[in-house]
Structure 1
Amino acid sequence: MVIWLERGDLRLGLVPELGGRLLSVCHRGVELLWRNPALLGDDLRGDYAPNSGRMGDWVNYGGDKTWPAPQGWAGPHQWPGPPDPVLDSGPYTAVADGDTVTMTSAPDPRTGLRFTRAVTILDDGYELRLRAENTTGRPVRWALWNVTQLPGGGPVTAGLRRPDVVALVAGTGTPEYTVDGDRLVVPPQDVVGKLGVPGTAGWVRYGPLTLSFGVDPAGEYPDAGSPLEIWLEHPLPAPLAELGDLDPPARIVELEILGPLTTLGPGEDTRLVVLAGIREDDVCPSPSGP
């Protein structure tokens, strides 16, 4: 099932069956998100199936989705995905109510979480209201982690409260960046790697899309205290063995927004709100390469 929301010049496409994904943000006929054309048509239809295994087995459909953090493979306190057959690629139920679609996952036995993603279309963008609920009878500790994939080829700009940027993943290298006063700029580049932004001011921009989010100054965030992370990738001649045989399908930019790590008792939840605004005076970055 594909659900479409339309308002003015904006059209959103959601696929609850595929991990509750937002797979299309089309503004004035221009698609802003990256999605995998080998797996999905313009109608967002394809072969949806839960996916598990190593990172190299991940079926990357693209779009916007929510994961649990911290990511890792050291034990049950870390999420060893993607892939993941419940929260990332499992079917979500959906309820449409006017300009809002609320999608809810099944309980995930690995993390103990159930995710809810509520997407509301606005005049100049959309709002994501995310919730992770502990469905077990024991305490669990996780953070919400929202990942928006965009076509590579343009710079990322983010606001800074302080000039605090860290290297998190260097698949083929650490992404280059500059800090100019209260702005972080990550230029387009062929690298597979990730930056963390502990000093984020709560917004990040790519092309016409600006994502805004709250930051808890007293909160404990994963990945060296990073409420914002920026991942870049591009196609490689061979999969990266050091990243679980990850095989990037295209030039992709990921804007990743995290909530604080929260200990949840049975039935308790943690929430994160992301506001996506579309600026009229910008143009979309042009994808480069295959």
Structure 2
Amino acid sequence: MTGRVRVTREGAGPDERVVLDNGALRLTAAPGLGGRVLSLRLAGREFLYRNPRLLDADLRRREGVVLEPTEGPMSAWNNVGGDKTWPAPQGWSHPGEWAGPPDPVLDSGAYAAEAGHGAAGAAVLTMTSGDDPRTGLRLTRRITLEPGARGYRLELTARNTSAAPRTWALWNVTQLDGAAAPADGTGGVYVGVRGEGPHTVPLVAGDANPRVVEHAPGVLRVPAQDVVGKVGFPTAEGWLRHVGRAGTLTQTFTVAPGTYPDQGSRVEVWLEYPLERPLEHLGGLRPRDRVVECEVLGPLTDLAPGAQTTLSIAFDLAPAGD
């Protein structure tokens, strides 16, 4: 496709949808739902997870569903799915940890959206959060989709809008359908690593720790498995790849110098599957679907008032069979 990428907007509040479509890739964002990307469709196939109890196949709220800014324990979280940005580290023990999700500003609050065109007909969507009093941050997510491309660039900014110094890292979370594993057994998350180990660290054991295997020299794999938990990759060299039934989604980023959250994790992978009972030690979280989270983090940064930290991620998609 040549020419400009098509940009359409409809709805308002939690129902607002902004669509960027270049004829190959169709990206749908929801500024009113925490600035999420709700859908990535390539060759007619959906790559992202969405909560089927909250949104229908057309990304509309189901009848009777109320989506509004929410806070409280994880049992109160309306996880609509998609790709979103949070601050790290996560935790509930002191103000230097992000006590979400849920979160009424950065996760479930409304983001202001500006959509237009940049150089060579590329579509540019910028979504900006409100100023969060708990973290002192304002988050910005800038998406650029070029004509004919099968991927896009996501540029993240966290600015300290408070009057006091803060220390945070950017943390981007992409949720994918964990039930859609390829029939040949190659599904899962692949992470490139380099240097001295340990290459993995156990971070969260919901009911167990995820299993990680060596796929090839310098490449680790988190295969599809029934487990609720998270593993971190302190030696990740700047790429990770999810292989599912729809195809392959690869994220690449530059590893910046500095100290990373969660025992030095530059990449994290979270897995969940349906449970019959809530996990009380995780705030009453009760997974109901098979979900894979591919997470990219930036380094912890000391932010003076008005200062900012940035993280850029390139997303590339390939349909199954390519």
1:139 is matched with which residue?
A: 165
Give the aligned residue type for 2:84.
Answer: K
Q: How does 1:208-247 map to 2 (within 5 A)?
A: 208-216=248-256, 218-247=257-286
Q: What is the TM-score of this pair, normalised by structure 2?
A: 0.85
1:172 is matched with which residue?
A: 207
Tell me, in whole angstroms, the C-alpha distance in 1 between the residues paired with 2:232 and 2:259. 14
Tell me, in whole angstroms, the C-alpha distance in 1 between the residues paired with 2:141 and 2:288. 26
Unpaired runs of at least 5, structure 1:
284-290
1:121 aligns with 2:140: no
The higher radius of gyration belongs to: 2
2:55 is matched with which residue?
A: 40
Look up the SS of the partner of 1:279 in the other structure: strand
Q: How does 1:268-279 map to 2 (within 5 A)?
A: 268-279=307-318
Give the aligned residue type for 1:113.
Answer: L
2:192 is matched with which residue?
A: 159
Give the aligned residue type for 1:193.
Answer: G
How many residues were matched structurally? 282
Give the aligned residue type for 1:107.
Answer: D
1:23 is matched with which residue?
A: 38
Give the aligned residue type for 1:221.
Answer: Y
Tell me, in whole angstroms, the C-alpha distance in 1 between the residues paired with 2:153 and 2:288. 28
Q: What is the TM-score of this pair, normalised by structure 1?
A: 0.95
Conserved 8 A contact 2:45-2:319: no
Tell me, in whole angstroms, the C-alpha distance in 2 between the residues paired with 1:51 and 1:45. 19
Look up the SS of the partner of 2:33 in the other structure: coil
Report the alpha carbon displacement of residue 44 of structure 1 after superposing the two structures with TM. Answer: 1.9
- C-alpha distance after superposition, 1:237-284 (max 9, x if no partner): 10101111111120000001000000111111000001001135657x
2:20 is matched with which residue?
A: 5
Structure 1 runs of 4+ aligned residues shifted over 4 Å read 280-283
Look up the SS of the partner of 1:110 in the other structure: coil
Give the aligned residue type for 2:60.
Answer: R
1:204 is matched with which residue?
A: 240
Conserved 8 A contact 1:157-1:186: yes
Identity of aligned residues (%): 52
Tell me, in whole angstroms, the C-alpha distance in 2 between the residues paired with 1:114 and 1:97. 21
Conserved 8 A contact 1:233-1:252: yes
Conserved 8 A contact 2:42-2:319: no
2:116 is matched with which residue?
A: 97
1:79 is matched with which residue?
A: 98
Report the alpha carbon displacement of residue 136 of structure 1 after superposing the two structures with TM. Answer: 0.9
